[in-house]
A = this chain, B = another copy of it.
Amino acid sequence: MSNRGLPLVDAAPTESEACCAPLACEPLTAGEAEELAPLFKAIADPVRLRLLSLIACHDGGEACVCDLTSAFDLTAPTISHHLKVLKQAGLIDSDRRGTWVYYRVRPGALTRLSALLRPRQAFAAVEA
């Protein structure tokens, strides 16, 4: 990783530019790459991938931390850490209700990444 520090704050990444052509359509600029890499880094961990999946699949689109923690052989602080990483990347959002904290997926972020990785002709193929 480069030594640039991580300005990445709790605010979500700019979903305005979520349009974005696939990687394969025109070369990413250095700036775009710097902005996108942290999103992939956030999901580039087996625990966080499962967390994201567990949250996305959970009834009502949200899951309590207690449900998530019990799915792993890891301590609560570790799960808390991974949730924080996902949240800081703008992939999930949290909501405290009483003692419990619920997390849900921010739909735009995943869609953006999915679109970015789509091969060039995917659109045409599907629309045909």
Contacts and interface: CB of A to CB of B under 8 A. Distances in A.
A57 B114 contact: no
Contact of A110 (B23, B44, B46, B49): B23
A110 B105 contact: no
A120 B126 CA distance: 16
Prevailing SS type, chain A contact patch? helix
Copies in the complex: 2
Interface string A87-128: 000000000000000000101001101111111101000110
Contacts of A44: 37-38, 40-41, 43-44
A57 B23 CA distance: 8
Interface residues of A, number: 43
A25 interface: yes
A58 B43 CA distance: 27
Contacts of A38: 44
12 contacts: A23-B52, A27-B50, A27-B53, A33-B50, A34-B46, A36-B49, A38-B44, A41-B45, A107-B119, A111-B119, A114-B118, A126-B127
